């Protein structure tokens, strides 16, 4: 199992013969095990070493992560190598940029979030925590009725980067989630934050829209169980497409990232997306990476 070990130099006060002696604890290791089952070779060895030693921070770390999630991986060793082009006789892969929006929705609703209870299939939306079954067109490989269940772009399409193909951003599964259509409409393209406002509607009490606390901006507050997922999806999107996150929004995302940590379901989703799309969300694999980036 792959792990990143971090080294920290911390002062320690020791009382000896009535005097305070300040010593340095030179090697306090804080190890975090990468949980996902497919990522043991995904992150290059030099990247792991630089993260462990504390060399990679802020912009340098974002640039390295961009190279990993968007670049060409040459396989064959214990860990992948990031290369400019695939050498002859080598096996390589990169993010699949040819997934259509129709395919992305089929994967999202008909595979990634499809659940089964007895002989019935259903999909649970992330904002209202409602279950939609076959009456709404749910099933393996199916796209449900958009009048009831939508494909939510956690990073709004109106704020996509002009420097990368819009379709690649639109179809990137790492930020797509099933959402109740009315809640999705209520969210619109507003930033995420804790709000002073009302629930989306009578049948959707888990999410709220209103004035962002600490601002005069209209914002959307997602269901508590989905807040960490929102944070990690936006961290990924910011790094992958080199877009800044609104400072107010970022403050709330960091808070949610800590309060709603990665769970088994989110790790499984990351693994499944890797099988489909051929890249991973590093902030799910190693949540502490977010702490090494001062500004998204």
Closest CA to 220 of 155, 284, 270: 155
In a domain, 45, yes or no: no
Q: Sign (positive/negative) of CA torsion 122, 271, 93, 169?
A: positive
Cα separation, 177 vs 222, in Å, equals 12
Half-sphere exposure of 139 (CA within 13 A, CB side): 7
Give the count of beta carbons closer than 10 Å to the beta carbon of residue 148: 16
In a domain, 114, yes or no: yes
Q: What is the pLDDT of residue 5?
A: 47
Q: What is the pLDDT of residue 4?
A: 53
Please count the structural domains in the chain. 1
In a domain, 55, yes or no: no
In a domain, 88, yes or no: no
In a domain, 25, yes or no: no
In a domain, 59, yes or no: no
Q: What is the pLDDT of residue 39?
A: 55
Q: Kindly report whether the global pTM for this prediction surpasses the value 0.75.
A: yes
Cα separation, 279 vs 172, in Å, equals 10
Q: What is the pLDDT of residue 214?
A: 87
- DSSP per residue over 190-218, as a string? PEE--EEEEEEETTEEEEEEEEETTSSSE
Give the mean pLDDT per block of 10 residues along the chain (296 residues): 45 38 34 43 94 94 98 94 92 96 98 96 98 97 98 98 98 99 97 96 96 95 98 99 98 98 97 97 96 97
User: Which structural domain, as residue segments, surrounds residue 99?
Assistant: 95-287
In a domain, 13, yes or no: no
């Amino acid at each position: 199992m792959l792990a990143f070990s971090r080294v920290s130099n911390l002062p320690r006060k020791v009382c000896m013969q009535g005097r305070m002696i300040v010593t340095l604890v030179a090697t306090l290791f804080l190890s975090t095990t990468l949980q996902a089952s497919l990522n043991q070779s995904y992150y290059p060895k030099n990247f792991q070493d630089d993260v462990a030693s504390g060399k990679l921070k802020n912009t340098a770390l974002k640039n390295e992560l961009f190279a990993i999630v968007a670049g060409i991986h040459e396989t064959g060793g214990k860990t992948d190598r990031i290369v400019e082009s695939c050498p002859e006789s080598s096996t390589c892969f990169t993010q699949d940029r040819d997934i259509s929006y129709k395919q992305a929705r089929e994967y999202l609703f008909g595979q990634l979030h499809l659940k089964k209870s007895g002989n019935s299939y259903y999909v649970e939306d992330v904002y209202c925590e409602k279950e939609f079954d076959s009456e709404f067109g749910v099933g393996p490989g199916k796209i449900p009725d958009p009048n009831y269940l939508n494909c939510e772009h956690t990073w709004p399409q109106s704020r996509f980067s002009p420097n990368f193909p819009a379709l690649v951003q639109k179809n990137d599964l790492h930020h797509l989630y099933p959402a109740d259509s009315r809640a999705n409409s209520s969210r619109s393209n507003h930033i995420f934050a804790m709000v002073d406002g009302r629930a989306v509607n009578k049948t959707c009490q888990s999410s709220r829209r209103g004035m962002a606390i600490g601002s005069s901006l209209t914002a959307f507050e997602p269901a508590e169980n989905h807040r960490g997922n929102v944070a990690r999806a936006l961290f990924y999107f910011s790094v992958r497409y080199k877009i800044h996150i609104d400072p107010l929004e970022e403050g709330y995302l960091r808070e949610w990232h800590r309060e709603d940590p990665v769970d088994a379901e989110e790790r499984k989703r990351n693994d499944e997306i890797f099988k489909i799309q051929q890249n991973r969300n590093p902030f799910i694999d190693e949540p502490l990476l977010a702490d090494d980036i001062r500004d998204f």
